[in-house]
A and B are shown apart, each in its own frame.
Chain A
Amino acid sequence: MNFVHFIQLILVLAILGAVGVPLFRGLSKIKLFAKLDESGEEYKHLLVRKEEVLLSIKDLEFDRTTNKVSEKDYQTQRKKLEMETVTILERMEELEKDKKKGKKSSKPAKVV
């Protein structure tokens, strides 16, 4: 066995060791992730949506200050965005309550 073959052997053994060790640590019974909690996923999505809608309200305020929207449009849009926020918050509250009760939510998400 020459030096090159020796290095190649070391390389292969090191790789086999690195990828093999986790397989023999008796972890096969442990799950990688919990069962997909649909309400949890929906909640996550709603958190993002809530943030986006609030940012949209901020943008709308800025657009009004810089005269990009008329007062009438501002009021209409603001009302719409606030409604959207309320819908999201209500649904989030519902999911939180369900989670606390340990019940699985049955109603699908309804986000405007």
Chain B
Amino acid sequence: MNDIGEFALLVALATALYGCVSYIMAVRGNRIDLYLSADKTPVIVWVCVVISSAALWKGFITNDFSLQYVWAYSNKELDTFYKLASFWGGQKGSLLFWTLILTTYMCVVYFQNRKKNIRLMPYAMAVMFVIIIFFLCLLNFSTNPFERIPLPPEDGRGLNPLLQNYWMVIHPPTLYLGYVGFTVPFAFAMAALISKNLDDGWIRLTRKWTLLAWFFLCMGNLFGASWAYVELGWGGYWAWDPVENAAFMPLLVATAFLHSIQIQEKKDMMKVWNMSLVLLTFVMTIFGTFITRSGLIQSVHTFDEATLGYYFLAFLGVIIVICTVLIITRLPLLKSKNELDSLLSREASFLINNLLLLGIGFATFWGTIFPIISEAVRGVKITVGPPFYNQVNVPIGLALLALIGIGPVIAWRRATWANLRKNFQVPVIVGLVTAAVLFSIVPLTGRSEIFTYMTFILCAFVMACILREFLNGARARMGLEDGGNFVSELGTLTWRNKRRYGGYVVHIGMVLIFAGIAGSQSYSVHEQKHLKMGESFKLRDYTITYEKLTAVEATSVKTRVIAEVGVFKDSKRVWTGRPEKEFYKGQNQPVSEVDVLSTIVEDIYIILADFNEDESATLKVYLNPMVSWLWTGGWVIAFGTMICMWPDRLEQRRRLDRMKKQEAIFAPAQE
């Protein structure tokens, strides 16, 4: 099977090369025979990559340690669940996994569009093939996952214990689905540029793809934060690590893009801007991959054998040059005929939102590459830490949060101050009441606490703005001749305007995330104590008592040492925490498994930092307020995105009507 897997990768590369060239020749030479021939290649390449992936998975399941990759990331004792996930645990497998997702996406795009967009599709497929070829070249000639060990060892080295967590099965695939998903809008944007077909057709074709990729990247980031929170044992979920930043930057640019395409659709303007944003989003995904695989920047996420940096850098350079040249040469075709009606309009608020998102993106980018720049200029690698990011990004983030509320309340095209005053009255009052109530509750001593205070006020303001939108919309519908009751009209309103109101639901999720970040960053307290059995200490209103220490042989390679910690409030037991340390055979460092009691108010987060032979133990306990708001925000975002992505029958009917009308007067595109 290994031989077949390796061979399938080679065949996939040859077929992808043929597919790319024949698609271009077919469209350039206007030849249907070449097109029909090329049209077989997406599925063939996908099948080859599936065969190759299946072969590697089989290697993991059957403990085939003749494969160097399987030996490096698995062993006989590893749970089957983690054996499946070990596939993307290292560099080689993760590249194959990336290629698997990319070819799968390409196949879906192919089946969706092959008969619809005959002028654009060949170019889009060719662009996707170019990217696939790059990854297949790496897999075939640089990091072959089927590399053999001449004398296979008895057992493997095993998967890094930190990766033996259920999030390992969820987080990387979600993140990859997001990263790779941006290839689709990128390919269509490039196709539009190459074919000079620069109306907003490519945007309509890829809008949902962009949203899907955005959703996966957003969830991937949140899942990663959740994983870090429960596994790394430092009480936090985000550390502005270069690789976290690498996944955060495309998310910011894609968010800007998702907002600004609405202006292009509505007003047929901002074509250059949108084109640049979609290309930049893709560039950022490749940049992220470069960061993870170059070994140039230190991060907990970088792969052991991070040797592919230069390939990715070269690829990145080529993409940037091609994109820039294409945009410059197509500038006359991208010129907008329309202008903003007023600076006091929703379009203008979207523009400001774009600038703020890119501002955060640029600050994050600068902080991420600063170690490389400082080393190149001064010979010393200077790493930029969380204070830099917080200092720059928090104020911009607050402005962005305010805009989440302001944007929807302003009318499209033109608004007046009088209407704004009227519409913002209630949200501003809600904000002021929140400010007054919180003033007496929360401490306001430092800069961070002031920012947190402002965040809560803005969260209340934004929530009021969004809820007001739902309320006013439903009320307006109730006033119609066939208007029903409030609840049914609220449902109809959302159902008939899925994009708008689904977007508002996503915004509610963002508000929860902002509140969660603010609360957990500013009001978190922690204490570390070395305790003998039965001893206690106080942390805020809680009494923490160290009660028991147990050692358990979980498997032949894993021993668990579990501490039992009683948490009391007003002499009542609230919870018994069981943090543990896990010792893996052959691994020098034990792994901490924290225990968390999560409530809407706060998380009680306990780490067993150390223990001694006399059964005394060092416990570290955090009280992290509002962390659960973050995860709830994530689910709300998922729900909102689902509403936005739900097929819109009205839109489909409009598209069909357009096609019919077009074809009734003008001949179909294909002869």
Contact = CB atoms under 8 A, between A and B. Distances in A.
Contact of B37 (A4, A8, A22): A22
A68 B411 contact: yes
A85 interface: no
A37 B338 contact: no
Given A47-B658, A68-B410, A69-B419, A8 B666 contact: no
Interface in A27-44: 27-28, 30-34, 36-37, 39-41, 43-44
B374 interface: no
Contacts of A41: 197, 199
Interface in B15-66: 15, 18, 22, 26-27, 30-41, 44, 48
Contacts of A28: 31, 33
Given A15-B15, A77-B414, A43 B37 contact: no
B486 to A, nearest CB: 15
A48 B658 contact: yes
A67 interface: yes
A12 to B, nearest CB: 7
A32 B7 contact: no
A19 B40 contact: yes
Nearest to B342: A73
Interface in B128-187: none
A99 interface: yes
B422 A67 contact: yes
A111 B269 CA distance: 12
B194 interface: no
B199 A48 contact: yes
A69 B670 CA distance: 46
A82 interface: no
A39 B662 CA distance: 11
Contacts of A80: 341
Given A8-B7, A15-B11, A43-B666, A62 B265 contact: no
Contacts of B667: 34, 37, 40
A71 to B, nearest CB: 10
Nearest to B15: A15
Contacts of B422: 67
Contacts of A12: 11
A99 B662 CA distance: 12
B411 A69 contact: yes
A32 B4 contact: no
B118 interface: yes
Interface string B241-276: 000000000000000000000000110100000000
A39 B27 contact: no
Interface string B99-125: 000000000000000000011000000
Contacts of A99: 665-666
Contacts of A95: 665
Given A62-B476, A66-B476, A48 B200 contact: yes
A96 B665 contact: yes
Interface in A9-61: 11-12, 15, 18-23, 25, 27-28, 30-34, 36-37, 39-41, 43-45, 47-49, 51-52, 55-56, 59-60
